[in-house]
Amino acid sequence: MDDDTLYRPWGTVTPEFWGSAAVAELTTGTGAVPAAGTVQERLAAIAHTYAAGHPDQATALAHQLDAEVTAEYGDAHLRTAEVREVRGYLAHLMGDHRSAVGWYLHVVRLRAGLQGPQHPDTLGASRRAYSLWRNVPETDAVPLGSELLTTVSAVHGEDSEVARHTRERLATLFSQAPA
CATH at residue 37: 1.25.40.10
- The confidence score (pLDDT) of residue 8 equals 52
- The confidence score (pLDDT) of residue 7 equals 52
Q: Which string of DSSP letters, residue by residue, matches 101-116?
A: HHHHHHHHHHHHHHH-
Would you call 30 helix, strand, or coil by DSSP?
coil
Low-confidence spans in the chain with pLDDT less than 50:
2, 6, 10, 12-37
- The confidence score (pLDDT) of residue 22 equals 41
- The confidence score (pLDDT) of residue 23 equals 42
- The confidence score (pLDDT) of residue 5 equals 52
Query: In terms of pTM, does the model score above 0.85?
Result: no
- The confidence score (pLDDT) of residue 139 equals 84
- The confidence score (pLDDT) of residue 64 equals 95
In a domain, 161, yes or no: yes
DSSP 8-state code for residue 37: G
In a domain, 77, yes or no: yes
Distance CA 118, CA 155 (A): 9
pLDDT digits (tens, 9 = 90+) for 32-48: 344 444 888 899 999 99
In a domain, 100, yes or no: yes
Q: Is 42 exposed, middle or buried (CB count within 10 Å of its CB: 0-12, 13-18, 19+)?
A: buried
In a domain, 5, yes or no: no
CA distances 16 to 13, 25, 48, 103, Å, are 8, 14, 11, 29
- The confidence score (pLDDT) of residue 107 equals 96
In a domain, 6, yes or no: no
Number of domains in the chain: 1
- The confidence score (pLDDT) of residue 38 equals 82
In a domain, 153, yes or no: yes
